[in-house]
Amino acid sequence: MQRSEAMMNTPLVVTVDGTAGCGKSTLARKFAFRWNALYVNSGLLYRSIAYRYIQERGLVGGFGKRGDNELHESLGEVDGQILSEILAMIEWDLCRTDEGGSILLIDCRPPIAELLSEEVAGVASELAVIRMVRERCTTFQQEEAVRYPRVVVEGRDAGTVVFPGALAKWYVDAPLGVRAQRRVQQLKRVSPGQPVSLAAIESHISRRDTRDMTRTIAPQRPAEDAIVVDAFAEKQGDILRTMEQVVRDRGGW
């Protein structure tokens, strides 16, 4: 299928939404590299806000050093003034690397390992229900997309809210136990020596799933026209080949 002249002036967007720990980041990043596209990890936007909020509120503790329930009790009622100031001050910049990848700079610096912690993930999930947070992150993604001819966006609502007119949409999922195991392995790579409980991680992911899927604003769900894949049942290489074929069939290659 050939694209019209009007479409040629519109950035091509592919979205990859899905549950926590399902493997969507790897799929989105690898497909973006194949497609020579900008890769946008929208989760890092929310995590960077959460990390700053944790610092400003003095909630620094660390998952594994205190219980997950204790963390959420510490978060308490969100301080709107602090959050508003963070949203006004934080700066993001998406760049392509010389190797063909992409990187999100946060206040002119690459992302730090602490952004991948379960503590930050939990706070990010709670802050993500707030309208001004979602609007800030959504606007940034939409503004960045027009700067590049091809964009792959990974998130929770990329295909339903941020880019409803995307060329192709995927929704990735996997069994909870598998996702928890993947998350444990990731945390061990990021923070060697830090004790990690599989049971705690599974419980944490389950609560995040519920919160993300039931929130009033931009709930996590597959777009009506999304292709749903099970990252556990299907091989990664097969999924990537299918993604390439679908985008080719729709005139995006």
pLDDT at residue 209 in the model: 92
- The pLDDT mean for the chain works out to 88
Across the range 194-204, mean pLDDT stands at: 89
- What structural domains and CATH numbers belong to the chain? 5-249 (3.40.50.300)
pLDDT at residue 119 in the model: 86
DSSP 173-235: E--HHHHHHHHHHHHHHHSTT----HHHHHHHHHHHHHHHHH-SSS-----TTPEEEETTTS-
Q: Are 179 and 191 in contact (CB under 8 A)?
A: no
DSSP the chain: -PPPHHHHTS-EEEEEEE-TTSSHHHHHHHHHHHHT-EEEEHHHHHHHHHHHHHHHHT----BTTB-HHHHHHHH-S--HHHHHHHHHH--EEEEE-TTS-EEEEETTBPPPGGGGSHHHHHHHHHHTTSHHHHHHHHHHHHHHHTTSSEEEEEESSIIIII-TT-SEEEEEE--HHHHHHHHHHHHHHHSTT----HHHHHHHHHHHHHHHHH-SSS-----TTPEEEETTTS-HHHHHHHHHHHHHHTT--
Q: What is the pLDDT of residues 47-59, one digit of tens each?
A: 999 999 999 987 6
Q: Are 235 and 22 in contact (CB under 8 A)?
A: no
pLDDT at residue 72 in the model: 47
| Other Cβ atoms within 10 Å of 101 Cβ, number | 13
Q: 26 is written with which tokens? A: 């790897």
Phi, psi angle pair for 64, to nearest 5°: 100, -25
Q: What is the pLDDT of residues 97-117, one digit of tens each?
A: 888 789 999 999 999 888 988
Distance CA 213, CA 217 (A): 10
Q: What is the pLDDT of residues 52-92, one digit of tens each?
A: 999 998 765 543 344 444 444 446 688 999 999 999 999 99
pLDDT at residue 60 in the model: 56
Q: Check whether 30 has a pLDDT greater than 90.
A: yes
Q: 188 is written with which tokens? A: 């061990």
Across the range 218-225, mean pLDDT stands at: 95
Q: What is the pLDDT of residues 136-169, one digit of tens each?
A: 999 999 999 999 999 999 999 999 999 999 999 9
Tokens 């996590």 belong to: 220
Distance CA 37, CA 31 (A): 8
